[in-house]
């Protein structure tokens, strides 16, 4: 049975995630209403601007229904701002910003710097690039966060390999929740999306 995976469609790279999910074997549904959230087996929270996204969750009456679905075990994947939204502790954010407390991590917003500091690098990603004959993953970072600390139940899947940010955590998973600092939806490499589709299927 094909999984139905929502993409939170309030702001950010919605179209790119929808296309990547379709290419990965899922049915993708943009989510703007609680009734749409009820229909999905998992949810992608895209990149964008995390404080704006948190405000829009309130405007669209989605914050409480989303928190409830996450607490009930709905699989979720957040990229860039989505990682910030899923985190439990957020550094360098506004006092009125809300997060979803679905990952036991501390996230620093805009950790790599401003837009001009955006960059690309090749990553090793546990569960993807360690498979036989797998190539490194090209990762695109755009005003990206990084993970400062992880809880005991959080698995680190990828870190920056070199440069000033070497060793910084940029991909994590805790049970049914996955997050990356980078934007796999923009590279044409759908392995992270296939990984998440498999997570949803297993759940």
183 is catalytic: yes
Structure tokens, 145: 């966060």
Residue 22 CB neighbour total at 10 angstroms: 14
Rounded distance between C-alpha atoms, residue 177 and residue 103, angstroms: 7
Strands 42-45 and 169-174: unpaired
Decide: 5 and 43 in contact? Cβ < 8 Å. yes
What does the alpha-carbon distance between residue 163 and residue 151 come to, in Å, rounded to a whole number? 25
Length of the chain: 203
User: Which residue of the set 16, 174, 185, 193 is catalytic?
Assistant: 185
Residues whose CB is less than 8 angstroms from the CB of residue 1 and which lie 6 or more positions away in sequence, other chains included: none
Q: Give the integer Cα–Cα distance in Å for 112 and 12.
A: 19
Annotated catalytic residue 17: no
Q: Which of 99, 183, 190, 193 is catalytic?
A: 183
Catalytic residue from among 80, 99, 190, 193: 80
Told to judge if 80 belongs to the known catalytic residues of this protein, a careful annotator would answer yes
Q: Residue 25 burial by CB count (10 A; 0-12/13-18/19+): exposed, middle or buried?
A: middle
User: How far apart (Å, rounded) are the C-alpha atoms in residues 52 and 187?
Assistant: 25
CA atoms lying within 13 Å on the CB side of residue 66: 28
- Supply the residues annotated as catalytic: 80, 183, 185
């Amino acid at each position: 049975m094909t999984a139905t995976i929502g993409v939170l469609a309030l702001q950010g790279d919605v179209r790119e995630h929808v296309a990547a999910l379709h290419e990965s074997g899922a049915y993708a549904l943009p989510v703007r209403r609680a009734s749409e959230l009820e229909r999905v087996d998992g949810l992608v929270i895209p990149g964008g601007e995390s404080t704006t996204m948190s405000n829009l969750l309130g405007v669209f009456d989605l914050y409480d229904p989303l928190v409830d679905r996450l607490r009930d075990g709905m699989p979720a994947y957040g990229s860039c701002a989505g990682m910030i939204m899923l985190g439990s502790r957020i550094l360098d954010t506004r006092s009125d910003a809300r997060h979803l407390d679905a990952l036991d991590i501390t996230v620093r917003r805009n950790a790599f710097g401003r837009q001009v500091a955006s960059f690309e690098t090749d990553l090793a990603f546990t569960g993807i690039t360690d498979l036989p004959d797998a190539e490194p993953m090209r990762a695109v970072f755009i005003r990206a966060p990084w993970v400062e600390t992880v809880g005991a139940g959080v698995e680190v899947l990828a870190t920056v390999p070199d440069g000033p940010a070497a060793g910084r955590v940029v991909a994590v998973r805790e049970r049914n929740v996955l997050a990356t600092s980078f934007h796999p939806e923009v590279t044409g490499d759908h392995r992270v999306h296939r990984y998440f589709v498999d997570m949803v299927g297993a759940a």
